[in-house]
Structure 1
Amino acid sequence: MSVENHFQFAKSESHDDIILLEASMRDFTFCKHAHEEFSFGITLAGRQDFFSLGTHHKSHAGNVMAINPGDAHDGHVGTSDTLRYKMLYVHPDTLAPMLQQAGIHNAADFRIKETVQDNPVMQQHILRLFKLVEDPATTSIAYYSALYEFAVLLAKQEEGIEQGAIYRRRDSALERAREYLHAHLSQELSLDDLSAEVHMSKFHFLRRFKEYFGMTPHQYWLNYRINRAKDALEAGTPLADIVFDYGFNDLSHFNRRFKPAYGKTPYQFQRDFLQGR
């Protein structure tokens, strides 16, 4: 990796609901991938360009980025200047109960409408959460109070938007295909296998799946394995076990797949979380 590309992941041992990323980029490009968490970020310097669900976005210095769980996206530097940004990753299981208390019905399916925003208030909330997670002296009441206030801000932002604009209509056949992929995590599946599972022709299934998830079935399946491997890395599972458990051919294959999604090799990513334990 270029010395000008830097990605530092962290989370608090006592308040581990949020993962932090502080990054700077000059020549790195993220592959198409999707997180299982809500991603909230601030572009500090430069410009970040990315596609998400077929739309091109440009996040300038001072902009807030908000990406929903499961939304496929990529990312690269948009100008000749160094890109610097911070991101918070918050799992929907953490955010949903607070959103519900803040007045969002069906909070488990909540989705943010605006991907890039000029929103100083949201920026302040993100920076506040970043500092609270970084500070080992942060109390539980301060942490969860700030997270709840952030949920209230998100709920207020969506007031007046029709429900259909916030929630994606679920497709039971494609959700069943997703569950089938999850159940066969370490196996090579064919397009014929998947399309037969949901009783569609394979090319009709391929088109429907990509429209729904923003990725082909193979991209989704690889992304899911990488996300499960990421969880294992955070937990301190040995690399050799992760390679075997999640269906990678060898460590080199795991490295090649993981780094374009997270900016670091699996070893480097795991080292971030194990330091200081």
Structure 2
Amino acid sequence: MSSASRFEFFKSHHVPTLTALKAAIEDFSYDPHAHEEYAFGVTLAGRQDFFSGGQYHRSPPGNVILFNPEEVHDGHSGGAQALDYLMVYAHPEQVTPLFAEVLGRESAAGFRSDQTLIQDAPLRHAILELARLVSTHAGSCIDQENALYQVVERTVQLGGRVQTSRVTQRPDALLDLAKAYIHAHLETDMSLDDISQAAHLSKYHFLRLFRQHYGMTPHQYVINCRINAARAALDQGAPLNEVALRFGFADLSHFNRRFKRIYGMTPYQYQRDITR
């Protein structure tokens, strides 16, 4: 990545877990990754190209991009013009009660939007206003909470579904065991054998099944989860070297390389941004 690409994170001073990103990309490509949060974005200039949900997407200026939690995607600038876009990230713990309120349900855990690329002016304006409040540290707590509610309300109006309790198919249940094992052992030196045994599958069957279901290898998923956990630790002010070693990175240089492929900046730059 050269100075032609710029990334800037902003953390809300009022609403827990709410973060905004402003990015300008010419020569940078994101590795396939997934966030724990809902991600609401707007393409401002250029074209945003990415692969997600088994499809290749192209987002021109004015389009909204919406990623549900754990949706694998990559991303880069498409076309001749530099890409300029913004994203707002909100953790499910923060927005699930809002989804429930809009839907008139007691619980809306697992709500998922039906769309990834959306052409809708009200949603675009709501995201832009929320990003403005967070990135400029403007408004009171209730102002930012209301702006987030407007984003959630319009998202629901455009279509989505709540994942209800159902009988889980065997492959899904076994892969859920693998994911649970990974999340429980992010700070240990786990092996592919360990993970596949937790899922009660042979190693090679597990590899094929996992990639088919999640769009990344188990190794990529482990790295992704460790980076997400490391980011949460950075949010809490943990020292860089401590975070790198805690989550299995050989040294700070290794941590820097992995983190930058997903967030476009080093852990130091990220922590500096969010503590402003």
TM over 0.5: yes
Q: Give the corresponding residue for 1:196.
A: 197
Q: How do 1:10-159 and structure 2 match up within 5 A?
A: 10-103=10-103, 105=105, 107-158=108-159
Question: Structure 1 residue runs of 4+, over 6 Å off?
Answer: 161-164
The number of residue pairs the alignment matches comes to 271
Deviations 1:225-251 (A, max 9, x none): 000111111222111111111110001
Q: Check conservation: 1:15, 1:133, Cα contact below 8 A.
A: no
Contact 1:104/1:155 (CA < 8 Å) preserved in 2?
Answer: no
RMSD, aligned CA: 2.0
Deviation at 1:255, TM superposition (A): 0.9
Higher mean displacement: 76-85 or 266-275: 266-275
In 1, Cα distance between equivalents of 2:109 and 2:81: 38
Matches within 5 A, 1:251-270: 251-270=252-271
1:139 and 1:268 map into 2 onto residues whose CA distance is 26
CA-CA distance at 1:121 after TM superposition? 1.2
Paired amino acid for 1:141: I
The normalised TM-score by structure 2 is 0.92
Offset, 1:214? 2.1
The CA distance in 2 between the partners of 1:274 and 1:193, in whole Å, is 38
- The alpha carbon displacement at 1:163 in A equals 6.5
The one-letter amino acid paired with 1:12 is S
Residue 104 of structure 1, CA deviation: 6.2
Q: Secondary structure, in 3 states, of the residue corresponding to 2:261?
A: helix
Contact 1:63 1:118 in 2 (8 A): yes
Change (3 A) 1:233 1:80: same
**For residue 9 of structure 2, what is the aligned residue in structure 1?**
9
Counterparts of 1:230 and 1:178, CA distance in 2: 19
| Distance (Å, rounded) in 2 between the aligned partners of 1:9 and 1:152 | 25
Shift in CA distance, 163/268, structure 1 to aligned 2, threshold 3 Å? closer
Match of 1:179 in 2: 180
Moved more, 78-87 or 202-211: 202-211
Structure 2 segments unaligned to the other structure (5+ residues):
none
Deviation (angstroms), 1:199: 1.5
User: 1:17, CA displacement in angstroms?
Assistant: 3.3
Q: CA deviation at 1:184?
A: 1.4
Which stretch has the larger CA shift, 106-115 or 90-99?
Answer: 106-115
TM-score (norm 1): 0.91
Local SS of the residue matching 1:129: helix
Cα drift, residue 5 of structure 1? 0.3
Q: 1:104 to 1:4 in 2, by over 3 A?
A: farther
Q: Distance in 2 between matches of 1:151 and 1:267?
A: 31
CA distance in 1, matches of 2:216, 2:100: 30
In 1: Cα distance, 2:265 partner to 2:161 partner: 40
Q: Is the alpha carbon distance of 1:26 and 1:251 closer, same or farther for their aligned partners in structure 2, counting shifts above 3 Å?
A: same
Where does residue 211 of structure 2 map in the other structure? 210
